[in-house]
Structure 1
Amino acid sequence: MVLRRYAAERLNLPAQAPRRSHRTVLGEVLPDRGIDRCRRGTSRRSLGRIARAGQGGPSGIGTVLGADVGTRLTESALYRHAWTTPALDAVFGESHRLQSWLDILTALAQAQEDFGLVPSGVADELRVHARVEDLDLEAIAEETRRTSHSTLGLIHGLQRVLPEHAREYVYFGATVQDLTDTWFGIAMRDSTTIIRADLVRVELACIQLALAHRDSPMAGRTHGQPGTPITFGFKAATWADEISRAIDR
């Protein structure tokens, strides 16, 4: 306001800017036929409108397409062969993961026993009873849903199969991240070993192709178009070289 008055004195401007009139009638704001469009229902299938339930609507999202076709590529009957292997399934499968968790708890108990933090014999009890096949997985799943805790059901399920003197030392001093992060590190180690072995086999196959087709001519490629002629053996040799660098990394 002070600046406005100063400008008015210097430039002979009005002290206040003229106010705009506010339109309150709907027909003055919307373009021609705007009122009719505003009153139109949302049943039409057009961009920006709410989709109705049914075909093409929200209820159709995630519809099961058929037997054994999962939402994850690693579970898909059509595509799993391109995204996983039986060996990797064994590493990341639920049964193997749960057993790995139990083995980690056993190793933790052994380390604590060595330092006198838990009574002697607890680790031996875990080695005997901490087996996936001995646990009531349905009861563990139900408690996991009820408590919304990722490992509490497993802890109680393991305690139920242990002798009473060892139960209170299950998961002693540990947190969820201690368990899951340790398992993830083990899974990465195991999967890297599997992947490296697969890469070595792929590298060998590429080398064999390079030797077998060292004189087989083919069109080279540049930006998706035919380029200077090369041999298929040379092409396979470049694949082998790329795989070799991946193995070294």
Structure 2
Amino acid sequence: MSIHPIDYRYGSKEMRGIFEEETKLQLMLDVEAALSRAHAKLNHIPEEAANEISKKANTKIVELERVKEIEEETKHDIMAVVKALAEKCKYGGYVHLGATSNDINDTATALQLKMALNIVLKDLKELEGILKKLTRENIEKVCIGRTHGQHSIPTTYGMKFGGFLDEIRRDIKRILEAKESVRGKMAGAVGTMASFDDGIKLQKLVGEDLKIKMAKISNQIVQRDIYAEIISSLAILASTLDKIALEIRNLQRTEVMEIAEAFGKKQVGSSTMP
């Protein structure tokens, strides 16, 4: 059930798809498969076991409905994934070998975050290009400057768009840094890797397989300051976008009408007014 406009109207299909249950399940299965391949490379399990687990780690085989059935019994989301995958495999006993729940969950979340931030960065680069073009095109277009909403001295639209451009570039830098901070983990119940032989090598292999950096030190979970940094960077970005949108809104008021949003031929702005 949708509870926020981003869920159904304003969020992109591409972004929503990353956070759907089916996608999260597939990413958790990807982590389980990568774990099995790492074990095989270190001769902990037979190669054919890793091959079979990797082949079966697919939502077309391990169905979301079955995972939910098992979760109803176990009351544990990750154990439900493990059991649903294991029951499809001849070598099911090797599934999840030595791992803890958040080795799977947090690493899958890290993959989601990387995918999501890549979309944000793609859109920001597009916006950067638009603002760069507007800055150049309007570098000498004079307009009244305002301070505290009151007329001040003249400025140019090139300056206005240039200010937006400069801020968006700082946002891009922050999002890139936040993306760089994303980490997965494969370190066992409390981060000591005691449940693995060659734990450091195994975690490295999993990270390389999934093309994601792994936490140098963790406990049960990947530390949440990483998530806080991402949320903080996105909050600053949202503030920038709000400022740009508010400026456009104010400058297209009827009594100002300096600029206007694009408006389609069949588009309407009200169900009652023309």
Q: What TM-score does the superposition give when structure 1 sets the normalisation length?
A: 0.64
Report matched runs for 1:1-249 at 5 Å: 70-77=2-9, 81=10, 84-163=11-90, 166-249=91-174
Which residue of the partner structure matches residue 207 of structure 2?
A: none
CA distance in 1, matches of 2:100, 2:148: 53
Q: Percent identity, please.
A: 28
The alignment yields a C-alpha RMSD, in angstroms, of 1.9
Specify the code of the residue in structure 1 equivalent to 2:31: I
TM-superposed CA distance for 1:180, in Å, is 1.1
CA distance in 1, matches of 2:103, 2:172: 30
Q: How many residues align?
A: 174
Specify the code of the residue in structure 1 equivalent to 2:141: S
CA displacement, residues 192-243 of structure 1 (integer Å, 9 cap, x when unaligned) = 2222221111011001111222233323232233332222221011111111
- Given that residues 25 and 64 in structure 2 are in contact (C-alpha distance below 8 angstroms), is that contact kept between their aligned partners in structure 1? no
TM-superposed CA distance for 1:168, in Å, is 0.7
Specify the code of the residue in structure 1 equivalent to 2:40: E
- Given that residues 124 and 168 in structure 2 are in contact (C-alpha distance below 8 angstroms), is that contact kept between their aligned partners in structure 1? yes
Structure 2: runs of 5 or more not aligned:
175-274
Residues 137, 248 of structure 1: CA spacing in aligned structure 2 closer, same or farther, 3 A cutoff? closer
Residues 137, 185 of structure 1: CA spacing in aligned structure 2 closer, same or farther, 3 A cutoff? closer
TM-superposed CA distance for 1:143, in Å, is 2.0
Structure 1: runs of 5 or more not aligned:
1-68
**Which one has the largest radius of gyration?**
1
CA distance in 2, matches of 1:117, 1:104: 17
CA distance in 2, matches of 1:90, 1:137: 15
CA displacement, residues 155-189 of structure 1 (integer Å, 9 cap, x when unaligned) = 121122212xx111111111111011111222222
Specify the code of the residue in structure 1 equivalent to 2:110: G
TM-superposed CA distance for 1:247, in Å, is 1.9
Residues 141, 244 of structure 1: CA spacing in aligned structure 2 closer, same or farther, 3 A cutoff? same
Residues 73, 174 of structure 1: CA spacing in aligned structure 2 closer, same or farther, 3 A cutoff? farther
CA displacement, residues 21-64 of structure 1 (integer Å, 9 cap, x when unaligned) = xxxxxxxxxxxxxxxxxxxxxxxxxxxxxxxxxxxxxxxxxxxx
TM-superposed CA distance for 1:76, in Å, is 3.0
Specify the code of the residue in structure 2 equivalent to 1:71: I
- Given that residues 53 and 92 in structure 2 are in contact (C-alpha distance below 8 angstroms), is that contact kept between their aligned partners in structure 1? no
Which residue of the partner structure matches residue 44 of structure 1?
A: none
